[in-house]
Amino acid sequence: MKFSRESLNKLNEMIKDKFSSIKESIPLLPRDLNEQSEVISHAWRDYCVGAGMNLGVIAGYETECRADLPPPGEALFLPEGVVRIRNIWGDKYVDIPEEFAIRALALGFLP
pTM more than 0.75? yes
Domain boundaries, the chain: 5-107
The strand pair at 54-57 and 82-86 is best described as unpaired
Q: What pLDDT tens digit does each residue of the chain (111 aa) get? A: 678 899 999 999 999 999 999 888 877 666 777 777 888 889 999 999 999 999 999 998 888 888 999 999 999 999 889 999 999 989 999 999 999 999 999 999 888
Paired strand residues for 82 = 78, 97
Rounded Cα gap, residues 105 and 7, in angstroms: 7
With 0-12 / 13-18 / 19 or more C-beta atoms within 10 angstroms meaning exposed / middle / buried, residue 59 is exposed
